[in-house]
Amino acid sequence: MAAKPQVRNAPDAGPAPEDREKHPVDETLPPLKMATSGLQHVAAMYAGVVAPPLIVGAAVGLSGTELTFLTGASLFTAGLATFLQTLGVWKIGARLPFVNGVTFAGVAPMLAIVDTTENKADALPVIFGAIIVAGLLGFLAAPWFSRLVRFFPPVVTGTVITLIGVSLLPVAFGWAQGPNPKAEDYGSTTYLSLAGITLVVVLLLRRFTRGFLKQVAVLVGLVIGTLIAIPFGVTDFTPVTEADIVGFPSPFHFGAPQFALAAIISMCVVMLVSMTESTADMLALGEIVDRPADEKTIAAGLRADTLGSAISPLFNGFMCSAFAQNIGLVAMTRIRSRFVVACGGGFLVLMGLSPVAASLISVVPRPVLGGAGVVLFGSVAASGIQTLVKAGLEKDNNVLIVAVSLAVGIIPITKPDFYHAFPETAQIILDSGISTGCVAAVLLNVVFNHLGRRRDDDDVTAPMEPGEEISGHHSAKAAHVH
């Protein structure tokens, strides 16, 4: 009995059990590294958080001051939702390095609610009321929704991860072209050059530096890109000079929530889309950080998303969801600590409480963000391809699943008006390539790999030569092997 501890702690037996048990996701980093890595996450998702409130606020007709308030509220609530997701409370929170923020899936239906609201002053209260109901219903449904994880084998998760990256790349390309698509200089050589320079800086730092500097390459690239942009007149410091030092998002600033059935139904559909994308994101991040997301993790993560969404309207925020942008940052830097992202959530809360702090990130020109985004979002797609390599693509059934699902998911990217003839509620789902590709992959996996499957006719043991046909006979397979 006494010899056993000696064998376990022998020099060649590896680290002690308590050391081995600590996963990189649960590690804490030195303060400086924690802060700078957290800032990278904020920089990567800042534009995605502030865009929806700016769009919806402009549609409502808010003044510049009110728009600033609404943006700060979104940053504040994104920070609270990130705390829920990363640190967790009870059975709430995936406890993975996830950043949460305003989901873009809700922008179109919220604009529709604004258009159908007779008194524009009531539009935001109606939107907030619908989000509260959708969030609470989603919270109750999370345990049942999480059971769908059994339908996400590697062939499905790899396809979805790849689609997440591919779907985000157009966002980076749009940023690279400039801040205003309607401006005459949109897509100018100046903007594209700044994006290219930032991309090159990030790549050089990743290639020729080591350790800490290599891990914060994106943040350093954003700083250098911003400095280079100053002589070109692209960097605007006006938001910093005009912002208040302190400002709290007072509860129900735009009025008490109102509950309209049509708006509630619309936001419940958005919540289902958001939960589907969050499930795919959790599966993707679980693969990247080597802690696969099981049913329990997904249920806890969905509770954090939905509860964060239900709480957000209290502080004038919108529906929250996991941000796929930050998965690329985790994949590239390999910094897997959830406490780093929680630190980023702290910065978001501070920005929500201090408009002048929030304005510092907004100084980064959109083309500079675009250059960094190419690396971040491309890393997500690359992670999906890595997962597909392990997905058994020697089987013809899996090849078909990936081929068709990718095609379906890419439709909204290549042909944004493809589903224009469908009802608006259907377009909420169909216009999300991640959601449609995910649903297609799950359904095709069930049809090809579960229903009436014949195990002796779906192997493709080697790539086909031009003109060859897929055959289910053993003789044909033997010919491929030899």
d(CA 465, CA 96): 44
| Cβ pair 154, 391 in contact under 8 A | yes
Q: Whole-angstrom Cα distance, residue 411 to residue 260?
A: 33
Position 474 in a domain: no
In a domain, residue 463? The reply is no
Q: Judge whether 153 and 313 are in contact, CB under 8 Å.
A: no
Average pLDDT over residues 200-216: 82
Beta strand spans in 81-205 (E): 100-102
pTM recorded for the entire structure: 0.66
Q: Does residue 11 belong to any structural domain of this protein? A: no
Out of 194-208, 218-232, 240-254, pick the least confident: 240-254
Q: Examine residue 297 and state whether it is found in any structural domain, yes or no.
A: yes
- Calculate the average pLDDT of the chain: 80
Answer whether 322's CB lies under 8 Å from 45's CB. Answer: no
Q: Which amino acid is at 158?
A: G
Does residue 15 belong to any structural domain of this protein? no
pLDDT number for residue 309: 93
By percentage, how much of the chain surpasses pLDDT 90? 22
Number of domains in the chain: 1
pLDDT at 245 over 70: yes
Please report whether residue 459 resides in a domain: no
**Which residue segment(s) compose the domain that 32 sits in?**
27-449
Kindly report, residue by residue over 81-107, the tens digit of the pLDDT.
Answer: 999 999 988 889 889 898 888 876 677
* 391 vs 164: CA distance, rounded Å: 17
Q: Write out pLDDT tens, residues 423-473.
A: 876 776 677 777 788 889 889 999 988 776 555 445 543 444 444 443 334
Our CA angle for 49, 55, 57, nearest 5°, is: 100
pLDDT in tens, 330-360: 887 788 899 999 999 999 998 888 877 766 6
Token code pair at residue 167? 């779907």
For 43-75, the pLDDT digits (tens) are 777 767 777 787 788 778 877 677 778 888 888
Is 429 domain-assigned? yes
The strand pair at 320-322 and 100-102 is best described as antiparallel
